[in-house]
Amino acid sequence: MGTPPQLMDMVLDTGSQLSWIQCHGTVNGKSVKPRFKWFNPSLSSTFSFLPCNSSLCKPRIPDFTLPTSCDPRRHCHYSYFYADGTLAEGNLVTEKFSFTASPIAIGCVKPSAENRGILGMNTGHLSFISQAKISKFSYCVPGRSRSDLTGLFYLGDNPNSGKFKYVNMLTFPESQNSPNLDKLAYTLPMKGIRIGAVQLKISPAVFKPDPTGSGQTMIDSGSELTYLVDEAYNNVRAEIVRLVGPMMKKGYEYASVADMCFDGAMAAAAGRRIGEMWFQFENGVEILVGKGEGLLTVVEKGVKCVGIGRSGRLGTESNMIGNVHQQNMWVEYDLANKRVGFGGAVCSGLKA
């Protein structure tokens, strides 16, 4: 980013709209040592603050969770709360990416010691792909068990797409007024879940938005865990208990959302007994989302959990397919044809 370019760490997030980076500076007058790289605006000839009278500084919901405002320098200030309670706030600016023809609007947030930046990839008009006029992108997330954790990200056509299975996205008119619906998300027509040879008895209706928007099933690369509404979660849990109940960590719950967990010593054996998990969509499309110990994710030292949480504990009644269930597969977002493609792969060490 910038001219000359500065290399930045950003989370590829299909569940977010506005991209943002941490900008060089201080917090409460004190220098903060970041875990990730800051962007230094003073070194870039293409960096520009958006003034308060900019049209982008008068956004409409759902662009920002709080109204924009003017800072003392007459620069546009914004604040955005995420579903997990974290806050990003700072100035709206424009800056050039090495792979964009012209600068795009992003957030230049106050530095913190914790967060990477965000590359917002949903369908909103302020997202990176909307501003850069990119109609197709894809990524391959490597499995966490491998030593090489480098995946691959395409903007535009993917040479592997001839082998992908495609699912049509659900879209919603702007006029639809459903309080629990995220119209900017990538919504998939999910139908069910299979574990091994057992088809779970989950009503397909729980994966489809009702008139309020509850039940929407989104695919979100920025969320680690997958989240399911209670009916779906309880059915998954019942099958896991049937298969490996005595091996589960008794009385343990991770972050108040996930309780299908195992001590590290039990994880490999538990994964083998669980076997394969498949997510099912319209038109008979089934996607293998994990098998064996690959179904489990490390949540703290010595503890692994099936990477599924209860969405109700987050205060939402939606289903969300997180990146733990997008490992070792291509996921392609084809906006022109309103579809998402999936293709099995070993993502570590892939070459473009």
Which residues are known catalytic residues? 13, 220
Q: Within 13 Å and on the Cβ side, how many CA atoms surround 18?
A: 28
Q: DSSP E strands: which ranges in 104-176?
A: 104-109, 117-120, 136-140, 152-155, 165-168
Provide the β-strand partners of residue 105. Answer: 94
Residues in the chain, overall count: 352
What is the C-alpha separation between 108 and 130, in angstroms, rounded? 19
Between CA 73 and CA 82, with CA 78 as vertex, the angle to 5 degrees is 155
Type of residue found at 99: F
- 85-118: string of b/e by CB count within 10 Å (b at 16+)? eeebebbbbbbbbeebeebbbbbbbbbeeebbbb
**If DSSP codes are grouped into helix, strand and coil, which group holds residue 311?**
helix
